[in-house]
Amino acid sequence: MYYFYQPHHYPFPYGQTAYHSLPVSPSTHFEFLSQPIAQRNTGTAKPNSLPSGGQSPVYPAVNPDYLYESAQSSRQLLSEASILLNHLAASKDFDHKLMEAAQRSDTSEVKRLIRSLGITSDVDIRYNPDSLHVEFISKARGLDCCRLTIALRWH
């Protein structure tokens, strides 16, 4: 596989373009240097002690509905990821087509091949000469709730 990759070359960190001397030395605040050091915790306070005044913190009522919906959506993503992995592990012909499309940088064909397996979730696909990353995305209540990423090495 041949890919065109142009690496970014950054200037040497201590080169002329990376380091500029300050026109004036920064001001020093000596009052910060003379403050007393805080005493160590003697172990009398408990880590989960109540806030001052003895009142317990007030939290909103627990509602597991959104977590439940997210878990349901994640199960769907997991089953679709399983379909993809099973097909990739069973068909070298499909793998060959997928890799050829990726080598041509034909992302729409890569997505079409993956969708041809019955994948209905939103799919974000990234690939490079070494690996394929497929991210399955789901929504609950109209919000992005769940993502499942599979990274497969192919070179």
pTM for the predicted model, two decimal places: 0.60
Q: What is the mean pLDDT of residues 84-96?
A: 96
pLDDT band at 48 (very low <50, low <70, confident <90, very high): low
Q: Pick the most confident of 16-25, 52-61, 81-90.
A: 81-90
Q: What is the 3-state secondary structure (H, E, C) of the chain?
A: CCCCCCCCCCCCCCCCCCCCCCCCCCCCCHHHHCCCCCCCCCCCCCCCCCCCCCCCCCCCCCCCHHHHHHHHHHHHHHHHHHHHHHHHHHCHHHHHHHHHHHHCCCHHHHHHHHHCCCCCCEEEEEECCCEEEEEEEEEECCEEEEEEEEEEECC
pLDDT band at 19 (very low <50, low <70, confident <90, very high): very low
What pLDDT digit, counting tens, does each position of 122-131 carry? 999 999 989 9
